[in-house]
Amino acid sequence: MFKIIFETFFYIILIFIINKQAVAISGEEISAKVSDWLVKEGVNGTPVFSKNSFFKNCNDEIKIEKFFKKS
């Protein structure tokens, strides 16, 4: 009985972990996208996102823009 409960609990945890990564984007992926954008814009900088963090993935492609635009 204990073995069945343990296995069920293990599978639930495993599914949760797999599902979290399937619908999430990692900090490492965000850093890479921001770094590419910075290079294209000719800006020196290093984005700081934790490589171990996961963020909710959006349905659209991530858009990176300047916060303040010069007139």
pLDDT digits (tens, 9 = 90+) for 14-47: 776 665 555 678 888 888 889 999 999 888 888 8
What are residue 59's phi and psi, to 5 degrees? Answer: -75, -25
Q: Whose structure tokens read 């900090």?
A: 27
pLDDT in the model for residue 62: 78
- Of residues 66 and 69, the one with the higher pLDDT is 66
For the chain, give the longest Cα–Cα distance.
70
